[in-house]
Amino acid sequence: MQKFSYKCTLRLLPLLGLIVSMNGCDASLAPLKGKYSDAPSEITLTLPADSIWVKIADLFSAKGLKVKSIDKIKGQIITTKSSFISAYTFEGKDGQLEEPQAWVVLPKVIRKEKQWIPKSIYSKWNIQIAETTGGQTMVKVDPVVLCTYYPNAFTVAEVSGRSTGVVEALITRNKD
């Protein structure tokens, strides 16, 4: 019976690591062309706060987002960190959204002219509602969206997404 030696295998490990690092980590991030705010969006409505609470809870429920807490005294709705793989889009070459009804837009991650596809997208939405003077209600929408790519077993890339404005438009629909 022949004895197996690990010396040859151990000598090849640095070479294997070098090959993997050269082929897996040189991706580029395509910047977003559209105008998406880093700051929370603020909307002023003439609806009473109670109807806005219900509307937002219904919107989140329809997308599968679970509400972590509702604090009407602080005027805050916070969702749990939830998978959001079904509600994202990228921009086309002209900067227009590929899926206009998507809630979030992600920058493309490209390596050797091949676009990586997200493996996980998680979002957490923080909504603040405050009644102001004159019977108006202010709503602040602040999403945190993280997308993770795993193109191979050795590479992980994480990018932040932005709100497309669809959520804000849905909140304001039939506002008066």
CATH of 25-172, one of 3.30.70, 3.30.310, 2.20.130, 3.90.550: 3.30.310
Global pTM reads: 0.74
pLDDT beyond 70 at 120: yes
Q: pLDDT digits over 21-60, tens only? A: 545 556 777 889 988 888 899 999 998 888 888 888 888 8
Apex CA 52: angle with CA 50 and CA 58, to 5°? Answer: 110
> Who's near 60: CB < 8 A, 6+ residues apart?
66, 67, 77, 79, 125
Confidence bin at 97 (pLDDT 50/70/90): very high
By the 10 Å C-beta count (0-12 exposed, 13-18 middle, 19+ buried), 5 is classed as exposed
| Residue 52 to residues 157, 164, 175, Cα–Cα distance (Å) | 37, 20, 9
Cα first-last separation, the chain: 85
Using the 8-state DSSP alphabet, how is residue 37 labeled? -
Mean pLDDT along residues 165-173: 90
- So what's the pLDDT on residue 119? 81
Between CA 141 and CA 65 the distance in angstroms is 15
